Each structure stands twice: as C-alpha cells, then as structure tokens.
Amino acid sequence: MESRMSREQITELEVAVAASERQVGADHPATLEARVRLALEYRNHGRNENALAELEQVAAVRDRILAPEHPDTLSAQHELALTYFHLSIGNDDARLPDAIATMERVAEGRVRVLGPAHPDTLASWASLDLLYGQVQRYDEARALRERIAAGWERVVAEREQRLGPDEPDTQFSRIRLASAYGNLGRTNDERTVLERVIASWGRLAAARERRLGPVHPETVDAREHHAYCHRWVGRSKDEVSLVERIAADHERLLSPTHPRTLHAQVHLASRYFEGNHNTAAAIALGERIISDVHTVLGADHDDMRNLCATLILAYATTGRGDDAMALAARYPLAEE
C-alpha cells in the first residue's frame, strides 16, 4: 500500500514529466531522465506495470536517438530487466526469461562499451547472477561471481591509485569487493577487506575532525560510516560506542534540541535496540527525547517515525504492550 507521502512523491514526478514534455519535448534527455525517476518510484511502490511502460518507452527512444549500446540506453535497459524480474516475483513467471535475456544483452553491451572492470558492468553481472540463481543456472552464476570479484579488485586498485586509499569512493568499491568475496565463500578475504575499510573510515573521520571539527556534516558522515562498518565484522559494541560519541558531541557543541542532535540521538536509540540489544537504554533515551523530536522535527519527520518504531518494538519485547499502544495513540502516524 502506498502511503500519502509516497503518493505525493509519485504525483510530483508525474507532474515533472508532463511539464518537461511540454517545455522541451518527449524525446529530450531531461524528459527521459524524469521518466526513469518516475519509473523507479513506481517500482519502489509495487506499481511494476507502470514502471514497465515508462522504461520501455525510455529504452526505445534512447535506442533510436542515441544508439543501442550508448551507456544511457544500456542503463534504461538494465532497469527494464530488473522490472521484468519484479513482475516475475509477482507471479508473472513469463517475465523471468525476458529479465534474463535483457540483462544478458545489457551485460554484453557494457563489457564492450565500458569494459569488464566498470561498476556498471559489474552491477549488471551481479543482477544476472541473481537471475541465473532463479532458474538454477548455478555454474554460470559461479563463473559470473569470479568475474565480479576480479572486476572489483581492478576497480579498487585503480581508485586507490587515482583517489587515495581512504577516499569514500575507494571505500565503497572495497565494500563491493568484500561482498563479492563473501558470495564466493572467501570469508577470510572478505574479512581482510572489511578490516581495511574500517581502518580507512577511521583515518578519514579523524582527518576531517581535525580539519572541520567533530560535528561538521562531512565529519559526521565519515564518523557514521566508520561506526556502521563495525557491525559487518560482528563488533556491534564498538559501533554503539562510536555512535554514543557522535551524539554526545552534537549535544555538547550544538544544543540538546538542535535538529542534528536529535537525529544523532534517534540513531543512537536505534543502535541501542538493534545493535547492542540494550533495550533498557533504548527506552530511556527514546522516552527522554521523543517530545523534543515531535516538537522540533514534526510528526511526519523520518526521525520521529523511526523513534516511534524503535520505542514500540522495545516496549513490545519487554512485555510493555500497554505502553506501546499508548505511545501509538499519543503520536499517531500521518494518514496512510
């Protein structure tokens, strides 16, 4: 079911597509890009037939105007293949062969145009690996996984040399490499790469803190990534400790009711409950800040929704069903 907010987002995108068609024409790149955004929003909310219609139109126009293997054409076809797959999940099994055939063409085209070590090529191979698994083509899936790992190794090496070992884009490619190793069962290699990611985010966070201060948005972004990575290697307590420091720094340097402080505290409450299984701490923090979150950020803000969800689940797991119901009544969500 679509929420009111989701319907509003879709309506805004539909209006944007119509406006772009009137202003610059149906085949203009801006209109086609707006259609892609609309299609993805449709798909995200289960409107796969609507997404299919938009993507088929975009792919056909780009094929005609640009070229069958232009990167933008291949990008539209990649999303088209994924939409066929979503339709197959919805009991339209006839769409699964379409998904596989389309993704195979996209992968082959991307290899020719972009090369075997380009992130877009690797994304198509990863999707094809998933699709092959749906039809028990396991040998082909395994071969793809080997190519994916080799491709990400090359991407990581290139980014380390061009950008530096601690730059975010280097870290994101390392994370993909770790995932590729994990999919091959190379757990020791996966762990080694993840430890490098943790160390690199830590260095970047420290460098930004020295240069910008502990609560500058760029510093916080690096600190949050550094904290988050610890969960991948089973160190949830370390993650929570780092998130506690982020929240404390915001409260100390900004104010207890600054929107960014409240965001950091909502995130901390979530990590207490989910990451460290410290339900009592999650409840105590949530109860302390919920009134401020509601007043400062509003009932429809994502942080308010997330905090309510954390508190309700925490109450439920500790046998406090009445408190969960009372909270839901006091802070009702916006109309769905």
Phi and psi torsions of 181, nearest 5°: -60, -45
What does the pLDDT average to over 87-103? 88
Cβ-contact 181, 149 below 8 angstroms: yes
Cα 82 to chain centroid, rounded: 16
Cβ-contact 184, 145 below 8 angstroms: yes
3-state secondary structure 273-328: HHCCCCHHHHHHHHHHHHHHHHHHHCCCCHHHHHHHHHHHHHHHHCCCHHHHHHHH
Domains 1-136 and 238-336 equal at CATH topology level: yes
Phi and psi torsions of 198, nearest 5°: -60, -45
Q: Report the pLDDT value the prediction gives residue 277, as an integer from 0 to 100.
A: 75
Q: What does pLDDT average to over the chain?
A: 94
Question: What is the spatial distance between Cα 47 and Cα 2, in angstroms, rounded to a whole number?
Answer: 10
pLDDT digits (tens, 9 = 90+) for 49-91: 999 999 999 999 999 999 999 999 999 999 999 999 999 986 7
Q: How confident is the model at residue 48 (pLDDT cuts 50, 70, 90)?
A: very high
What is 238-336's CATH topology?
1.25.40
CATH number of 1-136: 1.25.40.10
Question: What is the spatial distance between Cα 219 and Cα 72, in angstroms, rounded to a whole number?
Answer: 34
- Candidates 279, 275, 277, 248; CA nearest to 261 is 248
Q: Domain-by-domain residue ranges, the chain?
A: 1-136, 137-214, 238-336
Question: Residue for token digits 């290139």?
Answer: 158
Q: Report the pLDDT value the prediction gives residue 332, as an integer from 0 to 100.
A: 86
- Candidates 257, 239, 310, 308; CA nearest to 279 is 310
Q: How confident is the model at residue 334 (pLDDT cuts 50, 70, 90)?
A: low
Q: Report the pLDDT value the prediction gives residue 336, as an integer from 0 to 100.
A: 46
- Candidates 320, 333, 251; CA nearest to 282 is 320
What does the pLDDT average to over 270-274? 94
Q: Report the pLDDT value the prediction gives residue 205, as an integer from 0 to 100.
A: 98
Q: Report the pLDDT value the prediction gives residue 4, as an integer from 0 to 100.
A: 62
pLDDT digits (tens, 9 = 90+) for 17-42: 999 999 999 999 999 999 999 999 99
CA-angle at 325, arms to 321 and 330, nearest 5°? 145
Q: Is the pLDDT of residue 1 over 70?
A: no
